């Protein structure tokens, strides 16, 4: 019985993209979360954030945030469109705040109202823009 529960938890965990064996997050693909799994622990978040740009922050152990600065509105809009394209490719969508010369991205998994590895994968892909 315990083995069966462990296997079910492992399968649910993989569905949300939590597999910290690989180190290069940006080469991974976001896996849609099916729900029913716990968010990452603070220790797991700490292991993943070191793979992101230093400007990313974990806010209240709930979501990731980063602000980018640009010289004008057009550059900020182009960045937002590029990041939005990545969201569509990955089927994992961030929240954006766009203003003159500034973009804020907020990432978390809405289905579980918390963070999973796919959130860090998406952030790492934004770092590549």
Domain that holds residue 31: 2-127
For the ranges 12-16, 77-81, 113-117, the lowest mean pLDDT is seen at: 12-16
For 3-91, strand residue ranges (E) read 57-59, 63-69
Sheet containing strand 95-99, edge to edge, reads 57-59, 63-69, 102-107, 95-99
CB 40 within 8 A of CB 117: yes
pTM confidence score: 0.80
Q: In terms of C-beta density within 10 A (0-12 exposed, 13-18 middle, 19 or more buried), how is residue 86 classed?
A: middle
Domain count, the chain: 1
Contact 5, 105 (CB under 8 A): no
Per-residue pLDDT tens over the stretch 42-67: 999 999 999 999 999 999 999 999 99
Indicate which CATH number applies to the domain containing 81.
3.30.1360.20
């Amino acid at each position: 019985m315990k083995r069966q529960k462990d296997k079910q938890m492992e399968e649910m965990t993989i569905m949300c993209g939590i597999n910290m064996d690989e180190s290069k997050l940006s080469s991974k693909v976001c896996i849609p979360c099916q729900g029913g799994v716990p968010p990452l622990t603070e220790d797991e978040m700490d292991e993943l954030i070191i793979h992101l740009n230093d400007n990313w922050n974990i806010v209240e152990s709930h979501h990731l945030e980063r602000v980018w600065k640009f010289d004008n509105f057009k550059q900020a809009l182009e960045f937002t469109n590029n990041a939005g394209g990545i969201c569509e490719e990955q089927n994992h969508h961030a929240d954006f705040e766009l203003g003159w010369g500034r973009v804020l991205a907020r990432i978390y998994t809405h289905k579980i109202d918390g963070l999973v590895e796919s959130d860090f994968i998406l952030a790492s892909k934004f770092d590549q823009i």
